[in-house]
Structure 1
Amino acid sequence: MSSPQTPKTGSSTTVSTPTHPPVTINAKAGRRAALASTVGAVVDWYDFFLYGTAAAVVFGPLFFPSDNQVAGLLASMGSFAVGFLFRPLGGAIFGHFGDKYGRRTMLFITVVMMGLASTAIGLLPGYAAIGVGAPILLVTLRAVQGMAVGGEWGGAALMAVENAPAGKRNFLATGVQIGSFVGLLLGTAAFSLVTAMTTPEQFLAWGWRLPFLISILFALVGLWIRAGVPESAEFAAAKEEQQAARAPLAEALRTSPKKILAVIGMRMVDQSTFYMGFTFSLAYVKNFTDTPSSTVLTASMVAMVLAIPFLALWGRLADKFGRKWFYIIGPLAAALSAAPFFAALESGDLFPMILGFVALINLGHNISTCVQQTWFTDMFDVRIRYSGAGFAYALAGAVGGFIPLIATALMASSGSWVPAAALLAGLSLIALVSSLWSYKWANKEHH
């Protein structure tokens, strides 16, 4: 199939595809859409990751009190996992309505859901005040967070990609990934600041609530920025032709099951690198080595900060040289860095750990994810794109949430980090094979 023509006309770009008429995309609108997608991702991921920190630090004694401290912690972390389980449901619901009624409205709803759920968590009485109602309400609010995150990526990625001018699609769409790292950094900083400014008693009594309460301010900023973004140009053109699908997700599952499976496979590289790097690494050094957790946190923070410029750089290069190579180099880098990463953790030295995190995250993860937004978007027709790509992305996220658990079981049974490193490398290679399999679909309409 011949490639589409994308002539530039002043500040706008006209994009034509084999199945849809030419769509004129304004460069300024494209930048605004990219900013809105980035800010929304910051809001949603700030709140989503914030819960993980609180679950590990305070939710056990406050909402899941037990004579056995470990049992309380396990119950608390179990509530954290609820968010992952509800992500596919969010992807399905928001994908359905996003394909029928538009991406813009769904992105308003996801930010509102996340902001209100997090604020409610900050106001929630503990077990001592309302008994069993406290953990029930907490888990319910966590489910709402999971649904919001499950619906966020699809809408944010599509708004960025479908509004991006030719030659800048990967670069502008990396904001969705950058936003997740900024959200993680802000969540970590908020908890660290409150911890430093309060006594342990004050933190347990009320200090932990402050990061949740300020999330409503982030949500308001996100809503303000998204209010100035028009509907996706490609979706609006398809809607004018009355091409909306009656049941988008059902159609995607019926017509594109291989594409959905390919997206899930491709996501194994970012899921394994992210959760091995930022979650399992802490459990590993705390339980199996003498390395201080603070050293690992410092090294991981370096990678988080570097992810922001690296993602932007890789996105620009992908626009210049083509995205296929990025899903070859990225997964290979992740697979090759698996063993050195764990060796660095075991060494206990900060500098090797920083190098390990840079190789795993800023090369393996960032090189792969800088092209995910355009790749996954282009695999599906605009009529079922939010449902197909969004649901597959959210389902892979639910699977990825269990990677640290599997790695912990392998580590405990073997007494060595080698099986965990093999798991990381194997999942990365699955992503590589999946990308080679799916390239024909992603390259069908765009280059």
Structure 2
Amino acid sequence: MPLVHSEISPEKTQPDAGPQPEAEPQPDVGPQPDASPESMRRVAVASFIGTAIEFYDFYIYGTAAALVLNEAFFPTLDPVNATLASFSTYAVAFAARPIGSVVFGHFGDRVGRKSVLVASLLLMGLSTALVGLLPGYGTLGIWAPVLLILLRFLQGIGLGGEWGGAALLAVEHAPKKKRGLYAAFPQLGPSVGFFAATGVFWLLSAVLSDDAFRSWGWRVPFLLSFLLVGVGLFVRLRISETPVFAKVMDAQEASKVPTLDVLRRYPRELLLGAGGMIVAYGLFYTATTYCLAYATGTLGVSRDTMLGLSLVACLFLAAGTWLAATRSDAAGRRKLILAGAGLAVVWGLVLFPLLDTEQPVLMALALGGALFCMGVVYGPMGAYLPELFGTNVRYSGASLAYNLGGVLGGAVSPLVATRLQSAFGSSSVGWYVSAMAIVSLVCVLALPETRERELT
């Protein structure tokens, strides 16, 4: 089977856009020759809206975990342990995400990207909406947190299959010299999803009394997922399969067991790619979920103020993501990822000194700077991770690398940060962030540049 950087052999090329074989190498560097600007816009919109909706679903849980789930589902525990229990249910989804990568990646590499993306959206959206209908500990007792963990696990499986498919949808349709640009659209989805999730919580917190918010108001963002799933399905059902994967199916080169092929052929890319993602996850979930709980619980900053600051910080994330992703076509993916990780090493040391001032402007700078660093790393990853793997295992390989990084960087960050802060103070959390950045820096240094590679 051809490696990701190999040329297509003429005898395996089966064009579907025209009778002349010599015209067909064009899909190696981009979409089919008849791909219109309108169809490319549809692909960009579909990849963007899908990830925005799925990450909205994922992030509202993190916000609720920081603000209210400890009281609703773990009222018998002391505040610190209740917060840890709440964050533990949050971490369950990260453990499930590699499973989702294997399951959805298998079918994505064998059946196609489009159908798998529809299935992942349904699983994620319905699991999220059901959290909004789940009675609390006072009604169901111990079954309430058990069912919460189950729904969170299903959320993780759904999201584990989402990102890889959305990134491939954009990258495998894009011209070679614009893969970073088109990959920027699914990479912007988390920024918009986080902004929407935080905005909905901020609005509810502002208009409802504290009792109403804690009683039923926090459920509203989850119930909105019913509507968003419908929107996402409408958009995704209108797109076509990627031309790069269609060539694999035409040549009958689909992998029988994609995950095993990834482990056998691309173990280095898998592990180092996962390591490169650690800092992106660590920065995000430290600066959002943990800092929200820390500032409202330890520093005594109001919930409304912190949610507002999180909205401002999200703009920094979007700016860093778009800037780095679009620049990566000219400057190179690897160079920008290294720059973001290097900046994060420094920013980890100033994050909590700025946050501990309790001055809104400096707190916004602390959170915004952390998310900007995250965006610079995260933006180019939309094209970088898929380019590391061959077409017939690309869904599985890119998804696994992305989500294994989530387990190492995202699942444990709020838990480790809570323990470090309680034992050694807030500065220790900053050192932890810098350590994660160094790990990612070393991993990406060991990987090659990929922007000139062919996708077939």
TM over 0.5: same fold? yes
Which of residues 250, 267, 270 in structure 2 aligns to 1:260?
A: 270
Matches of 1:340 and 1:61 in 2, distance apart?
Answer: 32
**Could you say what secondary structure the match of 2:392 adopts?**
coil
Aligned residue number for residue 138 of structure 1: 148
Which residue of 2 is the match for residue 369 of structure 1?
Answer: 378
Query: For residues 283-432 of structure 1, what are the structure 2 equivalents within 5 Å?
Result: 283-285=293-295, 289=299, 296-362=306-372, 364-400=373-409, 401-415=411-425, 417=427, 419-432=428-441
Q: What displacement does 1:23 show?
A: 5.4
Look up the match of 1:16: 28
Please state if 1:185 is matched with 2:195.
yes
Shift of 1:2: 9.1
- Cα distance in 2 between the residues matched to 1:308 and 1:433: 25
Post-superposition CA distance 1:396-430 (Å, at most 9, x none): 1112220232233333333350x332322222122
Which of 162, 172, 175 is 1:162 aligned to? 172
Match of 1:199 in 2: 209
Contact 1:376/1:442 (8 A) holds in 2 = no
Q: Which deviates further from its counterpart, 52-61 or 179-188? A: 52-61
For the 8 Å contact 2:285–2:414, the answer to whether it is kept is yes
TM-aligned CA distance change 1:15 to 1:153, over 3 Å: same
Aligned twin of 2:442: 433
Partner of 2:21: none
Corresponding position of 1:103: 113
Amino acid at match of 2:162: E
User: Would the aligned equivalents of 1:124 and 1:134 in 2 still touch at CA under 8 Å?
Assistant: yes
- Is the CA contact (8 Å cut-off) linking 2:95 and 2:156 kept in structure 1? yes
CA gap of 1:58–1:316, structure 2 versus 1, over 3 A, is: closer
TM-score using structure 1 length? 0.89
Residues 76 and 284 from structure 1, CA distance in 2 versus in 1: closer, same or farther, beyond 3 angstroms? closer
In the aligned structure 2, how far is the partner of 1:311 from the partner of 1:148?
Answer: 23
Aligned to 1:94: 104
For residues 110 and 22 of structure 1, do their structure 2 counterparts lie closer, same or farther at Cα, with a shift above 3 Å needed? closer
**Distance between the aligned counterparts of 2:268 and 2:421, measured in 1?**
33
SS at match of 2:391: coil
Tell me the residue number matched to 1:216: 226
Partner SS for 1:231: coil
State the alpha-carbon separation in 1 of the partners of residues 333 and 241 from structure 2.
26
Q: 1:102 to 1:262 in 2, by over 3 A?
A: same
More deviation, 202-211/178-187? 202-211
Residue 58 (structure 2) aligns with:
48
CA pair 78-166 structure 1, distance change in 2 beyond 3 A: same
Comparing 242-251 with 389-398, greater Cα deviation is found at: 389-398
The aligned amino acid for 1:119 is A
Residues 242, 145 of structure 1: CA spacing in aligned structure 2 closer, same or farther, 3 A cutoff?
Answer: same
One-letter code of the match for 1:254?
A: R
Give 3-state SS (helix, strand or coil) of 2:254's partner: coil
Give the unaligned 5+ runs of structure 1: 6-11
Q: Deviations over 1:50-89 (max 9, x none)?
A: 1122233333343334264554444333222211111111
CA contact (8 A) 1:100 1:244 kept: yes
Partner in structure 2 of residue 66 of structure 1: 76
Distance change in 2, residues 1:64/1:356 (3 Å):
closer
Partner of 1:8: none
Change (3 A) 1:266 1:100: same
For residues 211-265 of structure 1, give each alpha carbon's deviation from its aligned partner in whole angstroms, at most 9, with x where no partner exists: 2111111111111111111011111111110000110001101111111111111
Amino acid aligned to 1:320: A
Q: Secondary structure at the match of 1:438?
A: coil
Contact map agreement 2:184 2:382 (CA 8 A) in 1: yes
* Separation of aligned partners in 2, 1:293 and 1:339: 25
Q: How many residues align?
A: 435
For 2:421 and 2:140, locate their aligned partners in 1 and report how far apart those are by CA, in whole Å.
39
CA distance in 2, matches of 1:13, 1:425: 44
**Percent same amino acid among aligned pairs?**
35
TM-aligned CA distance change 1:442 to 1:405, over 3 Å: farther
- Is 1:75 aligned to 2:78, yes or no? no
**Is contact 2:124-2:154 (8 Å) kept?**
yes
Quote the Cα distance in structure 2 between the aligned partners of 1:131 and 1:421: 37
For structure 1, which segment, 77-86 or 258-267, has the greater mean C-alpha deviation from structure 2 after superposition?
77-86
Q: For residue 47 of structure 2, what is the aligned residue in structure 1?
A: 37
Find the residue that maps to 1:380 and give its secondary structure: coil
Shift in CA distance, 126/262, structure 1 to aligned 2, threshold 3 Å = same
Contact 1:339 1:421 in 2 (8 A): yes
User: CA–CA distance in 1 between the matches of 2:303 and 2:186?
Assistant: 29
